[in-house]
């Protein structure tokens, strides 16, 4: 068995809205993501980590924001399509580790639901998915609550 690691990152500005979608979960908040799809930075970072590990491009190549088919689309669909692509190319997802960078809202209570959504989408046990959150201590675009970002690392295997 051979292994590969991929790294993903995504950031979206915040604007008018009453909720965020993170890890496929709707979270009440005073703002929403400004994005072409649902703006789920966690799923976007995971997609990029998986594609990078497999050497299959990036989210912008696979799901361009210039394509009207993806307007408002759930990022879980991006994740499902990416999982299928990896499988078609002989890769298996082993685990995901991630960080969400946000001042607010408090995300810890939503981690179990996020892990379940991602787990059921990519077909690995929820125990293989780690989600953490960090604040930026009031510094930068994230710290002043103008954006939220996510980082993800994926381990994949192949024969």
Complete domains list, the chain, with CATH: 2-25+38-135+147-158 (3.30.1330.50)
For residues 64 and 62, what is the distance between their CA atoms, to the nearest angstrom?
Answer: 6
| CB contact set of 60 (below 8 Å; sequence gap of 6+) | none
Grade residue 66 by pLDDT with cuts at 50, 70 and 90: very high
Name the nearest CA neighbour of 22 among 62, 79, 70: 79
**The pLDDT value given to residue 45:** 98
Q: Check residue 88 and give its pLDDT.
A: 98
Separation of alpha carbons 77 and 122, rounded Å: 10
Q: Strand pairing of 129-134 and 92-101?
A: parallel
Whole-number pLDDT of residue 147? 98
Determine the straight-line distance between the first and last CA of the chain, rounded to whole angstroms.
5
Q: What is the pLDDT of residue 46?
A: 98
Mean pLDDT of 93-104: 98
* Percentage of the chain modeled with pLDDT above 70: 100
pTM for this model (two decimals): 0.97
CA proximity to 112, closest of 32, 27, 54: 27
Q: How confident is the model at residue 36 (pLDDT cuts 50, 70, 90)?
A: very high
pLDDT of residue 35: 95
């Amino acid at each position: 068995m051979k292994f590969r690691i991929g790294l993903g990152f995504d950031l979206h500005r915040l604007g008018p809205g009453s909720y965020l979608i993170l890890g496929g979960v709707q979270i009440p908040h005073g703002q929403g993501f400004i994005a072409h799809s649902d703006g789920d930075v966690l799923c976007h970072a995971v997609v990029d980590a998986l594609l990078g590990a497999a050497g299959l491009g990036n989210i912008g190549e696979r799901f361009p924001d210039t394509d009207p088919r993806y307007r408002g689309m759930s990022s879980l669909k991006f994740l499902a399509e990416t999982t299928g692509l990896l499988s078609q190319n002989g890769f298996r997802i082993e685990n995901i580790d991630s960080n969400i960078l946000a001042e607010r809202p408090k995300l810890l209570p939503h981690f179990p639901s996020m892990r379940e959504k991602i787990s059921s989408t990519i077909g690995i046990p929820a125990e293989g998915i780690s989600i953490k959150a960090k604040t930026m201590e009031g510094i930068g675009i994230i710290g002043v609550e103008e954006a939220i970002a996510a980082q993800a690392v994926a381990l994949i295997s192949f024969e």
